Chains A and B, each alone.
Chain A
């Protein structure tokens, strides 16, 4: 079961949710942020503040929870949260996308402390998360695996392969979060949750800006089945 403590430590920057827009501005140079970045912002904040058991001082701790950002597009919100929580220095943010920066337009797990996977090509995160969840289960670990995907990313067949398999394996240590900004040209209301449900997942739909609702949805007990939280945000402009 995921630890309910903050992902904070002595390295915590002391920065809060209200600081995130400013941190993102350090990367973009203005106050405009791509929608793919801001759509994830509130769920990321709740995950790192209230759900994930991850210590920025020990990001490789085998007992940590795993968070995989499969939706690697627009990672500014991710980087801002990682900076606020002490995984990366705030000073790294203005180097965004520069040649020697650790922060690219898609994250690289070998460059950034605490980042589980490099992503950007859609449809890779959930299959890897499924293997990690199975590996943790085989080890008898209590760690949880969380994987964030986009609603349009859910078009990828590889994601569906993972949804089906995770259901068959009853991976109760796996939670998927789908950020639904209705960018899927072929999406339909209720379609995302129903695709997971038919494969044996428990499901929850939440307002992707409501921190209390997000937190509650992420920790719903789901023994013997994986869990998906569909977080609805404003439509992509």
Chain B
């Protein structure tokens, strides 16, 4: 199976060939891959490598958008989102134009390169901005669907590619959440985001709960969550900074006494190299850690 990044490269190249309004703005990262597909040579005015200049990457992409292009900007998550955040906020949002940002290096995918290449904060940064559609795909097939939909749309879109994947894709129902399984009468609801789904499903296989899958976290699919909610207890399992979506759940349940458990990476820097799996385990996001957190959360229930 191709990786998310390989699928992104192939589909983007196809879109560049078929749609004269699609532009690809790179900042050194990914140039080799797109040279291999030939689009760098075939579309020299629409495939632009601005060099290692991420602020320019955003301004340039916004400028292309102002001239009617649908720009796709691609780089590592910390350089794509954190470094030029003001350009994203002003050059896209404030100017009234839109584009598609596609990152690699999600959270701890590149843990062995150290803190400079670890990116657990990107989703929360973009979630602060209005009207961004934020995708956290868990499978390459989801990447393709999200990318094609994003190019056909005119909103701001973020697609967060990862080397962590689930075994299968969930494509039905558009950008909303998917119901994986439904618990009994007073079961809590767990929302697993992107690549966390298989881990969460395995960790909770014998627990009575409703399990939802989210590969699009903004807009937050409150409609589905409310429709399946039995007990007012929600567990969020996000593969990035803990608490990123807590306010979304609290807002939905503001009229009801409720409990929310937000699992994700902690704010504290885990000053280690190693692998994504080691870092996720250190943040309690492996199967054992997730199971432990959820069972403890359930044990804290106040009897009715």
Contact = CB atoms under 8 A, between A and B. Distances in A.
B56 interface: yes
A190 interface: no
A165 B56 contact: yes
A134 to B, nearest CB: 7
B199 to A, nearest CB: 40
Contact of A161 (B25, B48, B50): B50
B63 A127 contact: yes
A232 interface: no
Interface in B39-91: 45-46, 48, 50-51, 53, 55-56, 58-69, 71, 86-87, 90-91
B94 interface: yes
Interface residues of A, number: 30
B64 A127 contact: no
> At the interface, is chain A mostly helix, strand, loop or mixed?
helix
A7 B62 CA distance: 26
A165 B65 CA distance: 18
B124 interface: no
Contacts of B46: 138
Given A127-B56, A130-B60, A135-B66, A118 B94 contact: yes
Given A110-B96, A139-B67, A124 B60 contact: no
Interface residues of B, number: 30
A133 interface: yes
Contacts of A134: 45, 48, 60, 63-64
Interface of B: 23, 25, 45-46, 48, 50-51, 53, 55-56, 58-69, 71, 86-87, 90-91, 94-96
Interface of A: 108-110, 116-118, 121, 123-124, 126-139, 157-158, 161-162, 164-165, 169
27 contacts: A109-B95, A116-B66, A124-B59, A126-B59, A127-B56, A127-B87, A128-B91, A130-B60, A131-B65, A131-B66, A131-B71, A132-B63, A132-B66, A134-B48, A134-B60, A134-B64, A135-B68, A138-B69, A157-B55, A158-B55, A158-B59, A161-B51, A161-B55, A162-B56, A164-B51, A165-B51, A165-B56
